Amino acid sequence: MILWNRPLVLGVGFVAVAGTLGMDGGGWRDWAKAESAEDDVIPGEFIVHFRPAHVPTLRAEAGRFVNAEPSLAARLQAAGVTSPRPLLRIAPRRDNGPGRRLASTFVVRSDRSLPELRAQLEDQGAVESIEPLGHMRALAEPNDTWYHFQWDMAAADIATIRETHDGSGAVVAVIDSGVSPGGADGFLHLLQGYDFIGDDEDASDDDAMISGLSHGSHVAGTIAQVTDNVEGVVGLAPEAGILPVRVLHYDDASGAVWGDTDDIANGILWAVDHGAQIINMSLGSPGRSDAVADACAYAYENDVMVVASSGNDGNPAGVLYPAALPTVFAVGAHGSTNEVTPYSNGGPQVDLVAPGGEGSEDRDGDGHDDGIVQESVTENGWRYVFSEGTSMAAPHVAGAAALLLQNGWVRHQAIEEALIQSADDLYAPGHDDASGFGKLNILAALAVPVAEGLLQQEGPVTISQVSTDYSTDGRVWVSWITDIAATTEATGSDVNEYDELATHLHRVLVKGSPGFGTTIEVSSTSKDGTTASEDVELTFPLPSDNPFAGCADGAAGALFAPAAAAMAWRRRSARR
């Protein structure tokens, strides 16, 4: 059961507890709590990834597929596939592997279960993979009048940062519930966004008066709230542009704020194609979506940094998606005393922790719980709201990245490396699953010498961040990253190889027999002919060991948990 608490809301000239449902912290945190991948599956709806080379003319018209080759059309009909529609509502502007895969992806309906659909369709050449359509949930010394309650900004030494940096020129997309204009504090540069819920250009949070809080407005405030205006609170990079993309909405039946994975994938592509340099996603699900993974890969290939929250379940080995993807910078939460908060999900994918708040503590002695306070819309209008959660932690990193962009950094991998190098260890030196490489230190990151970036175009190719990600039915995704654009190659039994353009992110699908193991070799070759390779050992879990067994319709992707799943992850290097 998802528990509800109440956020603390500051009115003008008074402090009150609002009678509102909460999101992400002090009460708002628990909104984000997804109890299992099954909770986030939409029954009877699926995402089908066709291989681009096999279906160059396939289209969806009038609720059916047209121009399908006869054998494929017969299989689709036999599988009860109806009501197809392209996943992408806007064609990607860049021609690369992830964009091509998404352009060949459709959302369909069927009364069959996921295992039945896979058995009927995946073994023939045109269909690459099938996943259920699912939800992702919201994870919830300037002269500004409420600044003295912002322990997070004081700890970052925002006064010193403001002497030289304000985020000028950076564009940060907030993919969330929408960002509303009109607050007394507001934003200097709230850009024209897009609403994938209403399919229009008004990306305001239309549900804030119902849900009790504009989650997206609160998140955006940490990044770029107006500062030094004798009003309200401060943001880290107030001169940065906020590009709002609405993909989450309030669901009356569940009482949660969530969004469908196809909308989220569309939102990521739209943000990349409309000038975002950084994307913040304070949302997540235990279930892995191939569509969202491809969209994040599209961002990665186009040099856009994606920041996401690790999750609020208190699971030490349960980083949610999309934060768990190798193309995403995963952020956990710490409180005012620099301890990782009890709710912050951990795991080998965590890169850093940043201020997320603790809604039940007042350790800094300011008379209020140590949540993160920003301006937001509530059911009672605009207020200054204390909230807690990894949703609040992620935008601190997105704001820091905006400041580094202003400092002259140009490559997202270089920005990520600077943030990691400069982080303050909270526990043992180096990486740990709770705090990643440590606590965000913005001033130290700004002091790292500016680099041209790690994504060079020529030179010997190297492989890093090799990961294995187990799905249902004995299927394993093997992913790796190369420092320069290179091909995707793999050898071994049951390897389903992708035919991609030369990219930095590589992924192959391996199918095996439960209970057995195998070794495959992954390799990549750059345009100058240099090749790097690495052996990857795989152990296919038995059904009883499979952490995804029992999900509705065999829901694809899920929690990183049992050792029996033989999960492997090699983190990025930290040159400290």
C-beta of residue 203 within 8 angstroms of C-beta of residue 194: yes
Identify the helix (H) or strand (E) that includes residue 218. helix 215-224
pTM confidence score: 0.81
Q: Report the DSSP beta bridge partners of residue 374.
A: 385
Percentage of the chain exceeding pLDDT 90: 41
Q: Where are the alpha helices (DSSP H) in 362-441?
A: 390-406, 412-421
Catalytic residue among 49, 135, 189, 215: 215
pLDDT of amino acid 38: 60
Lowest mean pLDDT segment, chosen from 206-215, 298-307, 463-472, 494-503: 494-503
Residues 340-398 have pLDDT tens digits of: 999 999 999 999 999 998 876 776 666 677 788 888 888 888 888 888 899 999 999 99
Q: Residue 5 pLDDT more than 50?
A: no
The per-residue pLDDT for 513 is: 76
Average pLDDT of the residues in 252-281: 94
Catalytic one of 24, 176, 260, 294: 176
Return the sign of the alpha-carbon dihedral for residues 357, 358, 359, 364. negative
> Going by DSSP bridges, is the β-strand pair 517-525/489-491 parallel, antiparallel, or unpaired?
antiparallel
More confident residue, 116 or 35: 116
pLDDT at 151 over 90: no
Q: Tell me the CATH number for domain 8-36+137-446.
A: 3.40.50.200
| Span 425-438, average pLDDT | 94
> Hey, what are 7's tokens?
């956020």
pLDDT at position 174, please?
A: 98
Q: Please check the confidence at residue 505 and state whether its pLDDT lies above 50.
A: yes
Query: How many angstroms separate the CA atoms of 71 and 146, rounded?
Result: 66
Q: Are 431 and 571 in contact (CB under 8 A)?
A: yes
Q: How confident is the model at residue 500 (pLDDT cuts 50, 70, 90)?
A: low
Nearest of 394, 478, 409 to residue 450 by alpha carbon: 409
Instruction: Tokens for 47, please give them.
Output: 């995402």
Which residue in 546, 556, 413 sits closest to 477, CA to CA? 556
Q: How far is 117 from 79, CA to CA, in rounded Å? A: 6
Beta strands of 223-367 (E only): which ranges? 241-246, 249-251, 256-260, 278-281, 283-284, 305-309, 329-334, 350-355
Q: Count H helices and E strands in the chain, helices first.
A: 13, 28
Closest CA relative to residue 388, chosen from 373, 403, 377, 375: 373
CA distances to 256, 368, 520, 552 from 511, rounded to whole Å, are 36, 53, 11, 21
* Residue 391 annotated as catalytic: yes
Mean pLDDT of 43-69: 84
Region 469-496: mean pLDDT is 77
User: How much is the pLDDT for 21?
Assistant: 26
- DSSP lists the bridge partners of residue 17 as 8
Q: Is 215 a catalytic residue?
A: yes
Q: Is residue 176 flagged as an active site residue?
A: yes
Q: Is the pLDDT of residue 23 over 70?
A: no
Q: Whole-number mean pLDDT of the chain?
A: 80
Q: How far apart are CA 203 and CA 411, in angstroms?
A: 28
77 Cβ contact list (under 8 Å, min separation 6): none
User: Is the model more confident about 258 or about 330?
Assistant: 330
pLDDT value of position 171: 97
Mean pLDDT within 163-175: 95
Q: How confident is the model at residue 143 (pLDDT cuts 50, 70, 90)?
A: low
pLDDT of amino acid 339 = 93
pLDDT of residue 570 exceeding 80: no
Least confident of 19-28, 309-318, 413-422, 427-436: 19-28
**pLDDT value of residue 514:** 75
**In the beta sheet, which residues pair with residue 15?**
10
**Exposure pattern of 440-468 as b/e (b: 16+ CB <10 Å)?**
bbbeebbebeeeeebbeeeeebebbbbbb
Tens-place pLDDT, residues 554-564: 222 221 122 22
Pick the catalytic residue: 282, 310, 391, 471? 391
- Could you tell me which CATH class the domain 463-569 is placed in? mainly beta
pLDDT over threshold 50, residue 28: no
Q: At what angle do helices 412-421 and 390-406 cross, to 10 degrees?
A: 110
- C-alpha span between 484 and 501 (Å, rounded): 13
Q: Which of 473, 83, 89, 110 is nearest to 247 (CA)?
A: 89
Write out pLDDT tens, residues 58-110. 888 878 888 888 888 888 989 999 999 999 988 888 777 788 888 889 999 99
Averaged over 42-67, what is the pLDDT? Answer: 84
pLDDT at residue 565, rounded to an integer: 24
With cut-offs at 50, 70 and 90, classify the pLDDT of residue 34.
Answer: very low
Contacts of 119 (CB under 8 A, 6+ apart): none
Residue 362 or 197, more confident: 197
List the domain boundaries for the chain: 8-36+137-446, 463-569
d(Cα 155, Cα 424) in Å, to the nearest integer?
13
| Selected residue with higher pLDDT from 194 and 21 | 194
